[in-house]
Chains A and B, each alone.
Chain A
């Protein structure tokens, strides 16, 4: 089952920051500066954690993974945005 996650990070070094950003692009949609919306099955959560573990410095950096529940229950709709409207990514086939 897929679940929604909000992943936010605080990385102290510019090089690691870029690598974390690039890695996160592979797992979710970039919502804001250092915030990603990820809709992932368990296996990809493990992969994401593994990938991040390789990059971050355990003593200086921080990543928060916030579980928002199963994707079917639309928990993202409960998040209110102020100012510019938030664009949540919907999963669908892409035609380019």
Chain B
């Protein structure tokens, strides 16, 4: 059986979309069921994605901006709702890179997160390997992980005011300096 069908069979309705590109499979699952989906993938005897290789975030806001800019108002197509009534697509992705140690197959699991509610369940209860990556995603994107044992900034200092990997943050920063605190 092909891996795609096995994943569909394992996840059922949780697999919102499955995408394949250059041999890499990625599956999108609803953010509310992320722990359930990852547990199923881990415990499934045929798949056995038992190793969390990495966890990180992606900010999609510029891709959406580019797409709306290229779409002209007079375009043909089904219908072009005006920008106000269209619900904004979820801005962030949190991507889990899974690996099966038995079969050496890899899978990307994607959860989409809206900007106004950047919260997702922490997977540290399944893999301890998620501890620092989740802290880093919190640091870089401001996505909070519910149930994380110690959610602090990881790379930037504690008082840093922004989330640097968001697309609207300039590369050269906004003049933040770490002040000299002699404890």
Whether A associates with B in a native complex is no
